């Protein structure tokens, strides 16, 4: 075991000496911070001859939200919000405005764009009907619909409002972290295996007295652990500025306050932890995959091209719900996984008599695929023989 850690330290030393690694990490971390701060630099609103910065708008919204913190989202709150919305000198929280528009525009019979809080029907009855329509349109099986109904019935209603802009902004940037994670892994991690072939030093490395298996294990551990560490670093680059700018209150708020048509019984803090777990699982899978490609192709260009190609492809294409099996597979692609409609959507898989959501089953699938990639890579690496010219 001592030899394993010694070789791991050597692999880390080689990786951390590369300028490309530090430049890529610095650019991506700066991009993550900028993704949070961008509205503060670029957005402003003019009203009555006065220009308000985004920071002032957010502070006002935060103060307005205090009037409704801890209140149930029901008919009486809607009436109060409608009264305030019609008043020229009183504001309503932006979160509640989005909530009302989401419910009303999707299912209210008498929805009026100028009276978004003026509901003639029960808002939770509207929500239930919208969900039923979505499940039917999504070509879900009877078993899936039955399971989703059970989960929906277990939700505590009426929902209770709390200001949670910090967590909401982090969650909304989940796909940005996924893209940055993929780019970093595609650019830097293949170097762990490809460098020996590019520099023609495989003869030395493969003759290590500790054996090929130990060296291979050290390389794999280095790639996976470094990918996980950088993923956590990217997460912190979004978490810290978001907490500083928007605050940390509202961690126990039901996710349905901000995403009304989700059926999972999670609060904002739990959803954030789930996303962090998915980011880490995706880091393990993607790093194992690119290291396999790097050893198989004996260069770092092919893994980079494949990963960037997947990023581009997933950005421009989507698979309709009627192609259910393909749509489910598509939802498990790491970049797609970080989009809320895919990770926490209505699609489920059945196993051992139970139904599981995409976010619940993905880590197991990722682990199996990662182990497969590592095993295949070890077979190639340990059987590789340097050919004399």
pLDDT value, residue 208: 58
pLDDT band at 384 (very low <50, low <70, confident <90, very high): low
Instruction: Please answer whether residues 245 and 254 qualify as being in contact, where contact means their C-beta atoms are separated by less than 8 angstroms.
Output: no
Please tell me whether residue 368 adopts helix, strand or coil conformation. Answer: helix
**pLDDT for 243-295, tens place per residue?**
999 999 999 999 999 999 999 999 999 999 999 999 999 999 999 999 999 99
The secondary element (H helix, E strand) that includes residue 47 is: strand 44-47
Q: Are 58 and 245 in contact (CB under 8 A)?
A: yes
pLDDT of residue 30: 96
Angle between helices 75-86 and 94-107 (to 10 degrees): 110
Looking at residue 388, its pLDDT comes to 44
- For 201, other C-beta atoms within 10 Å of its C-beta total 12
Helix (H, G, I), strand (E, B) or coil at 304: helix
CA distance 269 to 325: 31
β pairing state of 44-47 and 50-53: antiparallel
Average pLDDT over residues 217-234: 96
Most confident of 33-37, 42-46, 58-62, 118-122: 33-37
The pLDDT tens digits of the residues spanning 144-155 come to: 999 999 999 999
CB of 44 within 8 A of CB of 53? yes
Say which DSSP state 338 is in.
Answer: T
Residues 28-44, mean pLDDT to the nearest whole number: 88
Per-residue pLDDT, averaged over 338-353, amounts to: 85
**Under 8 Å between Cβ of 165 and 62:** yes
Three-state DSSP class for residue 252: coil
Q: Residue 279 and residue 276: Cα distance in Å, rounded?
A: 5
Q: Looking at the predicted structure, is the pLDDT value of residue 389 above 50?
A: no
Question: Which one of 68-72, 110-114, 311-315 scores highest in mean pLDDT?
Answer: 68-72
Classify 169 as helix, strand or coil.
Answer: helix
pTM of the model: 0.89
Output the average pLDDT for the chain. 87
Cβ atoms of 91 and 275 within 8 Å: the answer is no
Q: Looking at per-residue confidence, does 58 or 201 come out higher?
A: 58
How far apart CA 186 and CA 374 sit, in angstroms, is 17
- At 46 the pLDDT is 63
Residue 375 CA to residue 302 CA, distance in Å, equals 20
Of 269, 278, 292, residue with least CA distance to 231: 278
Helical pair 191-198 and 212-246, crossing angle rounded to 10 deg: 130
């Amino acid at each position: 075991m001592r030899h394993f850690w010694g070789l791991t330290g050597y692999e880390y030393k080689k990786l951390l000496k590369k300028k490309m690694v530090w430049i890529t990490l610095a650019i991506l971390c700066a991009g993550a911070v900028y993704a949070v701060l961008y509205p503060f630099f670029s957005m402003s609103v003019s009203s009555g001859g006065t220009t308000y910065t985004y920071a002032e708008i957010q502070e006002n919204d935060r103060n307005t939200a205090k009037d409704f913190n801890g209140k149930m989202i029901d008919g009486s709150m809607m009436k109060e919000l409608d009264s305030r919305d019609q008043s020229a000198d009183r504001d309503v929280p932006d979160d509640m405005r989005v909530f009302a528009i989401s419910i009303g525009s999707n299912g209210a019979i008498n929805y009026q764009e100028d009276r978004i809080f003026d509901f003639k029907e029960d808002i939770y009855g509207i929500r239930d009907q919208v969900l039923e329509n979505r499940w039917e349109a999504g070509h879900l099986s009877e078993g899936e619909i039955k399971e989703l109904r059970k989960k929906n019935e277990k939700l505590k209603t009426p929902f209770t409002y709390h200001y949670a802009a910090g967590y909401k902004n982090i969650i909304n940037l989940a796909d940005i972290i996924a893209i940055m994670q993929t780019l970093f892994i595609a650019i830097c991690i293949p170097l762990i295996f490809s460098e020996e072939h590019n520099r023609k030093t495989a003869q030395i490395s493969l003759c290590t007295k500790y054996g090929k298996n130990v060296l291979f294990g050290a390389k794999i551990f280095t790639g996976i652990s470094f990918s996980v560490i950088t993923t956590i670093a990217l997460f912190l680059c979004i978490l810290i500025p978001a907490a500083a700018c928007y605050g940390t209150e509202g961690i126990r708020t039901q996710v349905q306050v901000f995403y009304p048509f989700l059926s999972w019984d999670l609060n904002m803090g739990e959803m954030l932890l789930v996303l962090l777990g998915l980011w880490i699982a995706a880091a393990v899978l993607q790093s194992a995959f690119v290291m396999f490609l790097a050893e198989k192709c004996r260069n770092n260009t092919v893994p980079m091209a494949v990963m960037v190609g997947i990023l581009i492809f997933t950005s421009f294409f989507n698979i309709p719900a009627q192609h259910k099996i393909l749509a489910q597979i598509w939802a498990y692609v790491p970049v797609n996984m970080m989009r809320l409609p895919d990770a926490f959507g209505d699609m489920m898989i059945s196993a051992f008599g139970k139904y599981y959501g995409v976010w619940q089953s993905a880590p197991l699938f990722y682990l199996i695929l990662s182990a497969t990639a590592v095993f295949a890579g070890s077979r190639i690496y340990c059987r590789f023989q340097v050919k004399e010219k």
